[in-house]
A = this chain, B = another copy of it.
Amino acid sequence: MTGPAPPDFDLDTFLPYLLNQAAEAASRGFEDIYRSRHGMTRTQWRVMANLGKFGVMSARDICAVSHIEKTKVSRAVASLERQELLTRSRSAEDRRADKLCLTGKGLDMFADLGRHALDYDRNLRRNLGEQMSGDLTRVLRAIMAAGPGFRPDHDD
């Protein structure tokens, strides 16, 4: 007489696990760069990258495009402001929100990190090969675009 059938489950074929492992592997090297060069946090780097891309925007906007939690954004913004990497100005249209904008110092840092990021990404894609690099981007975009159960958001 046998016990309950073993759930023939294997971590090594489990997509969430594989994706997390790969994401960690891909992120580690670049994290070393923004940490050692500028003492930044991952969240701080992402906030800065969004400001660098979009220019002036509110914390709410950053949350919307990046899917970072609002409290993480709030604390990252406060830290970047203390370091004089961004400034905030009360929005005229909606006085609950601040308009955020990189300072000259912030733009310089973003330029430096942007160059390193481009190099880093090119290197990753080269290691992967053109075929797999393209496949990966395509699949990751599909994941982000997918329906419930596969979305970064979960405010429902």
Contact = CB atoms under 8 A, between A and B. Distances in A.
B150 A124 contact: yes
A9 B127 contact: no
Interface in A106-150: 110-111, 114-115, 117-118, 120-121, 123-125, 127-128, 132-133, 135-144, 146-147, 149-150
A23 interface: yes
A64 interface: no
A9 B129 CA distance: 20
Contact of A15 (B8, B110, B136, B154): B136
B23 A19 contact: yes
Given A9-B117, A110-B7, A149 B136 contact: no
Nearest to A20: B23
Copies of this chain, count: 2
A84 interface: no
Interface in A41-95: 46, 49-50, 52-53, 66-67
A48 to B, nearest CB: 10
10 contacts: A7-B115, A7-B117, A11-B46, A14-B49, A18-B141, A20-B27, A22-B143, A29-B150, A29-B154, A128-B142
